[in-house]
Amino acid sequence: MKISFSSILLVLIVIFITSSGNSKMVGEAKKCFATWTCEGDDECRLKCIDDHKGDGICDSSTAFPVPKQYMLIIYSIILLQSQSSTNQSRENMETDLSRVTLRPFSLTDAHDFLRWASDVRVTGNLRWQTFTSEEEALVFIRDVCLPHPWRRSICIDDRSIGFISVFPETGDDSFKAHIGYGLSHEYWGKGIATRAVSIAVPQVFNDLPHVLRLQAFVQTQNKASQRVLEKVGFQREGLLRKYSYVKGEIHDVFVYSLLSSDLLPLP
């Protein structure tokens, strides 16, 4: 297909306008495109120009008929730019870390709980089995989450998107506790797990004052979880070979720790 210089120039102009970040210019450009759809109908174009006179863009020198195939390109570019802006706004809203909170689980969380606990990408590194029904989720929340010594729902706008659990040891080892967490796949890589653990750590040491050491065992291939702990301030202490049994497989794990006397993260 032969593409003329004028069509390339036209597309480049549109790309410049739509990527300029100037919403007023984009809006005016869209008005100008309306005159081009008249495609040779002078009365139509003159009326459209008159409707938008004073815009600074849609004057008689810039309003000219454009073939329909060019219009498809132009509108496609505008649509993609608009969609990109919408996605960026949604992304910014989703990653607003001030919306991340922790709270105890509730029976009303069953529906939201199932959304992430039924995903093998989330449960793959957990001892939990993958959930298959809301009834299973409800029973688990009732029988496991609610009586748990320290388990919190990670929430966005009070909607459950994951969990953090702390398991205190007993007897002579009661000064130690284990921390674990999981997060809905759609929120991975957005800093939410790091934010949630940062909130949890001071709460744990406050709620469980006898705990001096908080530790985590992370499979060596789970790089994302390792980064979360390191960002919060946990120290990697070593490698435990063939240490953890999860879903039929034995894994090497790194051991991480944070002491109550360490510099704790700001919640």
* Rounded Cα distance, 175 and 212, in Å: 5
Cα separation, 249 vs 107, in Å, equals 32
Structural fold of domain 97-259: Aminopeptidase (3.40.630)
Q: How far apart are CA 223 and CA 221, in angstroms?
A: 6
Burial class (CB in 10 A: 0-12, 13-18, 19+), 130: middle
d(CA 234, CA 116): 26
Q: Domain limits of the chain?
A: 5-93, 97-259
Kindly report, residue by residue over 162-216, the tens digit of the pLDDT.
999 999 999 999 999 999 999 999 999 999 999 999 999 999 999 999 999 999 9
Give the span between the Cα atoms of 111 and 101, in whole angstroms.
Answer: 18
Rounded to an integer, what distance in angstroms lies between the CA atom of residue 104 and that of residue 150? 8
Return the higher-pLDDT residue of 124 and 47. 124
Q: Minimal CA–CA distance to 166: which of 97, 260, 254, 63?
A: 260
Question: Model pTM?
Answer: 0.65
pLDDT in tens, 93-125: 456 899 999 999 999 999 999 999 999 999 988
Which tokens sit at 254?
Answer: 């790194």
Q: By C-alpha distance, which of 111, 99, 9 is closest to 62?
A: 9
Write the CB contacts of 41 (distance below 8 Å, at least 6 apart in sequence): none
- Average pLDDT over the chain, rounded to an integer: 80
Evaluate if residue 131 carries a pLDDT over 70: yes
pLDDT at site 94? 52
Residue 105 phi/psi, 5° resolution?
-70, 155
Q: Report in angstroms the alpha-carbon separations of 111 from 80, 155, 158, 183.
A: 34, 13, 13, 15
Q: What's the chain's length in residues?
A: 267
Tokens (6 digits) for 99: 């919306």
Residue 77 has pLDDT above 90, yes or no: no
